[in-house]
């Protein structure tokens, strides 16, 4: 009987050790994938935006009201707001801040996805939906570099 009990406890120890090793291996693999993902997001190529995305300046006034390129609009419940680390965030976390963004609209004109840009991404050229507003802003501030400084980047 004593021998049988010893064999059971030995088997249990081996099973728990194997389970612990598998869990540790899974943790290492998932962490390496996360590092690769983070390296890709902040890597030499940065994030890839859809070709139909426009550049704009966004201020969340009070959700769902936003100001985009000087015009007030409403965000719809399905609008996604993505931060510089590619995480989905709530509009309340950026209320009152002026942000350089890329954005895409639904076919009906409502905002679909908004990406908050890093300073490096903000300096890349992209089509704008309201050229006269942007031209006026650049003209009043003197240069695109001054616009980026005015926005706090």
Assess if residue 75 is contained within a domain.
Answer: yes
Lowest mean pLDDT segment, chosen from 42-46, 84-88, 97-101, 146-150:
42-46
Assess if residue 132 is contained within a domain.
Answer: yes
Q: Which domain holds residue 91?
A: 67-151
Residue 50, pLDDT > 50, answer yes
Assess if residue 40 is contained within a domain.
Answer: no
Q: Which pLDDT does position 38 carry in this prediction?
A: 45
Assess if residue 4 is contained within a domain.
Answer: no
Q: Which pLDDT does position 58 carry in this prediction?
A: 94
Q: Which pLDDT does position 40 carry in this prediction?
A: 46
Contact 58, 65 (CB under 8 A): no
Assess if residue 47 is contained within a domain.
Answer: no
Strand-pair partners of 115: 82, 102
Which tops the pLDDT comparison, 131 or 102?
A: 102
The model's pLDDT over 108-153, given as tens digits with 9 standing for 90+, comes to 999 999 999 998 898 888 777 777 766 677 677 776 667 767 766 6
Assess if residue 14 is contained within a domain.
Answer: no
Phi and psi, residue 16, nearest 5° = -65, -40
Which tops the pLDDT comparison, 114 or 35?
A: 114
**Overall pTM > 0.75:** no
Domain count, the chain: 1
Assess if residue 48 is contained within a domain.
Answer: no
Q: What sign does the CA torsion over 85, 86, 88, 92 have?
A: positive
Confidence of residue 41 (pLDDT cuts 50, 70, 90): low
Assess if residue 129 is contained within a domain.
Answer: yes
Q: What is the DSSP string of 116-142?
A: EPPHHHHTS---BS-HHHHHHHHHHHS
Q: Which pLDDT does position 7 carry in this prediction?
A: 66
């Amino acid at each position: 009987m004593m021998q049988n009990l010893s064999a059971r406890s030995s088997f249990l120890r081996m099973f728990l050790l194997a389970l612990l090793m598998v869990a540790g291996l899974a943790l290492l693999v998932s962490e390496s994938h996360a590092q690769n993902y983070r390296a890709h997001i902040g890597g030499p190529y940065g994030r890839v935006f859809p070709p139909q995305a426009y550049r704009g300046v966004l201020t969340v006034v009070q959700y769902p009201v936003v100001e985009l390129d000087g015009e007030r609009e409403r965000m719809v419940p399905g609008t996604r707001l993505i931060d510089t680390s590619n995480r989905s965030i709530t509009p309340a976390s950026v209320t009152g801040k002026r942000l350089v963004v890329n954005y895409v609209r639904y076919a009906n004109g409502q905002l679909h996805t908004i990406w908050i840009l890093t300073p490096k991404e903000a300096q890349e050229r992209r089509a704008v939906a309201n050229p006269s507003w942007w031209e006026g802003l650049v003209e009043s501030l003197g240069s695109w570099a001054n616009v980026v400084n005015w926005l706090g980047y």
